Amino acid sequence: MMLRSLLTLAELSEAEVRGLIKASLAVKQSWEGLVREEPLRGRVVLLYFELPSTRTRLSFESAAVRLGAGPIYLRERDLQVSRGEPLSDTARVLSAMSDVVVARVRSHARLVELAEHSNVPVVNALTDMYHPTQALTDLMTMLEVKGRLRGLRVAYVGDGCNNVCHSLLIACSKVGADIRVASPPGYEPDPEVLEVALRCSRESGSEVRVLSDPAKAVRGADVVYTDVFVSMGREAERERRMRDFAGWQVNKSLVAQAKEDYIFMHCLPAHRGEEVASDVIDDEEHSVVWLQAANKMYVAAALLLAYCSPASLQKLSGGGASLK
């Protein structure tokens, strides 16, 4: 598997996406042995973050430390880019002193610029358009809990035009999972992203649908997924968004439309009482959000191994994913 950087999942084939999921599960199963071996000893993982993060930052830092690498976390204000240095110049310096750059930036265009001028791979840790490591974690969790991806029915309810939904659309359509997105008018997925998902679905045989009725989307679903109504960077729109999303909460009445053994997923952070009711997210029988959050570390570890120690990853996953 040859990959320069991980900016979106659109550039990956179904086999490559499945290879990364397989690798992440293999890493989880062999975690104690990997920690003892420290296959990333001497490597430097640079985390450049322009936006706050809890799970994504912790997943990459924890994975790096436990596998022997040295993580360096830098905020935008820590660097000269905050004083006007071109991002292209910063990229050259960051990549000269690290083995991989994990970047969370405000706009996807900035991520593309960073990758274009970096001499080492760049991993997208979230932009305004995509969140591929989250989607990989979501698929890993679905496979771990449900035992399959192809033919699985995923229902996403809420803001369809955000980075999580965009990456989930591409991820599900790549691996043959059906996905229905239900959003209020004006909050549908970006048309270009939707076109990518539809093209992938034709290749994999999955179904992609955008609906305006949450009950219809959830009916018969194996997975019910939601995200906050007010995404990071959209705080000024909060009042309008809360009006527009009135009645769109994922609650017990809505999930009653899903399959009896459905699972509930949320990328977190969650705003209980807004996009999800407390008795749904805290339902120990159906909610897998804490497993989902913990799995981010294994996805991060698989990516770091793929870039920095491909032989170690190939040994674990039978040659499944080596990224260069």
User: pLDDT tens for residues 126-149?
Assistant: 999 999 999 999 999 999 999 999
Q: Which helix (H) or strand (E) covers residue 32, if one does? A: helix 31-37
- What residues pair up with 157 in beta bridges, in sequence order? 182, 226
Which residue in 73, 42, 13, 69 sits closest to 303, CA to CA? 69
How do beta strands 100-104 and 122-124 pair?
parallel
pTM (two decimals): 0.96
Q: Is 79 strand, coil or helix?
A: coil
Instruction: Please give the backbone phi and psi of residue 13, each rounded to the nearest 5 degrees, phi first.
Output: -80, 170
> For position 324, what pLDDT does the model report?
40
State mean pLDDT over 6-19.
95
User: pLDDT tens for residues 257-293?
Assistant: 999 999 999 999 999 999 999 999 999 999 999 999 9
Domain boundaries, the chain: 14-130+296-312, 132-291
Q: How far apart are CA 51 and CA 6, in angstroms?
A: 18
State mean pLDDT over 102-131.
97
Q: Is 97 strand, coil or helix?
A: coil
| Domain at 132-291: CATH code | 3.40.50.1370
> For position 321, what pLDDT does the model report?
52
Q: How far apart are CA 77 and CA 273, in angstroms?
A: 34
Q: Are 107 and 113 in contact (CB under 8 A)?
A: no
Q: Is pLDDT of 318 > 80?
A: no
Query: Matching CATH topology for 14-130+296-312 and 132-291?
Result: yes
How distant, in Å, are the alpha carbons of 28, 62, 106, 137, 298 from that of 32? 9, 14, 35, 20, 12
Identify residue 261 by its one-letter amino acid code: D
Fold of 14-130+296-312: Rossmann fold (3.40.50)
